[in-house]
Chain A
């Protein structure tokens, strides 16, 4: 304990613990921002988990019938209701945006300024179109179907409450993501990560690692959507 321990005579478990506890940094070569984002996302996971578990508890314990998801979320195409049509498109768009985000991160590593900025912009546009479609879906539910947070004509009031709350909370996440994608994209485009311009508030120099940190957040928002999709639209 009085001096630094040598790692030669350790068993596998001990050396694993020693690696975790090693000096200066627990996660080698992980920048501060990326470590922060991982921990934040773990915390955010607890938020969405609480929301979804609360939703499940309310749905299981509902005293009135729960609206059938295959009908209430259906779009009418040529007089025929097509279940899950809109939501399939929304999901496809969001998953595609994850793909463009990965490419942006890839070009960010190569410090390819223009391609990174372009891909960030595409990701932001895909995200914005997702939010736009969500607004369309909300409008349809509110105006045409008469679903409100406090009541709806189909049965349990908790359907509207949980749906608007959870998809709304997710929509806010996507919108914030779009905003930051645009900010990061603008910085990349202007070359602020190449010529080490100092940030506005923090006066720290930025670098391309932020693109990857941004990507972590974006993939997380996508992953959460998969769960919301499963629990709201497929249950």
Chain B
């Protein structure tokens, strides 16, 4: 192999001119450096995510111990449910994976100096921040935030009687519109950077799977968010201008309202045309990150790289034709259910392929049980669990009795709540040294992992059972029914206690983050001995312009771990083949 001649094409573009910050403000506040923007995105997302976390505690307090807390009334409970869902799905997960990890990892991993449009990238963050502030403002308007459920289904989202139908729903919709505008500015950056600004030798099939995952998720978001934008604008007009896009003839407070002809199902179609790809907007970056972290910490090449790439693309494509599996009980034509159940179950093929490949990557690997690796293994198990219950809900006849029960809550929390959050933790533990030059405390990391991992299962496994016995979701309290056994109340109390324990573990994590930034153990360069470009920068942590004087040239894929012909355990992507120490070939 050593005698092989390597032909790397010359650079096609001249060196990009970077904006050089002239003051503290343009360097750290109104920064055009993707790495700073990434930290700003991540910080904002985590802060608003903590609000979502506290809302979940309040919700669980009510569910676990009904008629105990006088400060939670029915309306407030619904508002907690709504804002918890919206914050976690859109403002935390989407923003953190794409705005946070996308901004940090894409330019570094593809060998670019920065995103291609740094100014639009900066605007993207500030518009995102504005949308978060509008969302937070809805807590302080008369009537409070909207309590329509995170799906915001009309007509009840805007008719009187629903909490927050005064100002809350308006601010919610306006906030979503701004989020989408801000995201589009960032998303165009991520997509064009991946397509048009890679380093010499970095073909698409040389890219780490992290970049593939974020790239395809960005494309999904650019094509899915328009549906939410349109739905938000229409509902905003329904609320402000008294139009009837989504309002059929209905009774409100015993009287027919002077509207008719609108279609609530139209909103559901638009919402879920966004909502289902949204699941994969969150999941695909997680798939990519987990592939890279597993490969690095198991010192073994990812199994079936090409198939992993094609699976990401296939899942991305399929995610646009499954949306109505969220609508089996909506009153749409039942024949649609057959089509959407079929496409939904087809998605199991590429996702199962990915799960097998992760498992086969671990197989006979030199597995280092580091904290990032623990999170990744937890992800694989959890994603499998969540995926299996997805098979139940994807089938119309099984879904109908399970609709709007706790089973659904358990399913989507496992598959798109807990599983991607595990990957976010894996990614933070993995890349924290890169961003700060410090290591996170290992003991606190282990504690955080085990409490969160075990706790998540103790929370969500019983919830499946609650759903099977028929406990509905979004109910303020169940009261006494003929079909729900009294033991369900004990189970609910148990779940709530677990939620609070897991919540405490997150406080430990935040403490670990903050103390490690300032007083953590100094990280050596490339502490995990990874091959990808972000660890091969001239400065550590990477500085402005990422790669110093000369951009890297890529000679191989990102998974050269433990190759038998090499002397070293790993070979970074940018090491010239002549400089790689090879073992002598046995005669």
Contacts and interface: CB of A to CB of B under 8 A. Distances in A.
Say whether A associates with B: yes
Interface string B439-460: 0000000000000000000000
Interface string B285-326: 000000000000000000001000000000000000000000
B204 A25 contact: no
Contacts of B19: 202-204
Contacts of B116: 32, 36
A43 B227 CA distance: 10
Contact of A43 (B226, B244, B555, B577): B226
Interface in B239-263: 241-245, 249, 259-263
Given A1-B305, A50-B230, A149-B237, A57 B197 contact: no
Given A24-B202, A158-B261, A54 B192 contact: no
A47 interface: yes
Contact of A4 (B8, B192, B263, B266): B8
Contacts of B259: 157
B234 A165 contact: yes
A92 interface: no
Interface residues of A, number: 50
Given A58-B261, A157-B261, A27 B196 contact: yes
B261 A3 contact: no
A58 B265 CA distance: 11
A61 interface: yes
Contacts of A25: 12-13, 195-198
B380 interface: no
A21 B192 contact: no
Contact of A202 (B12, B119, B245, B560): B119
A21 B342 CA distance: 32
B9 A23 contact: yes
B212 to A, nearest CB: 11
B556 interface: yes
Interface residues on B, range: 35 or more
Nearest to B223: A46
A83 to B, nearest CB: 25
| Max chain B C-beta neighbours (<10 A), residue from A22, A27, A205 | A22
Interface string A30-51: 1010011001101110110111
A36 B237 contact: no
Nearest to A23: B203
Given A47-B229, A149-B243, A202-B118, A24 B184 contact: no
Contacts of B244: 150, 157-158, 161
B145 to A, nearest CB: 26
B570 interface: no
Contacts of B270: 50, 54
B237 A165 contact: yes
A9 interface: no
18 contacts: A3-B577, A4-B201, A23-B198, A23-B199, A24-B198, A25-B197, A26-B196, A26-B204, A32-B192, A36-B192, A42-B222, A43-B223, A51-B230, A149-B242, A150-B242, A158-B261, A161-B237, A165-B234
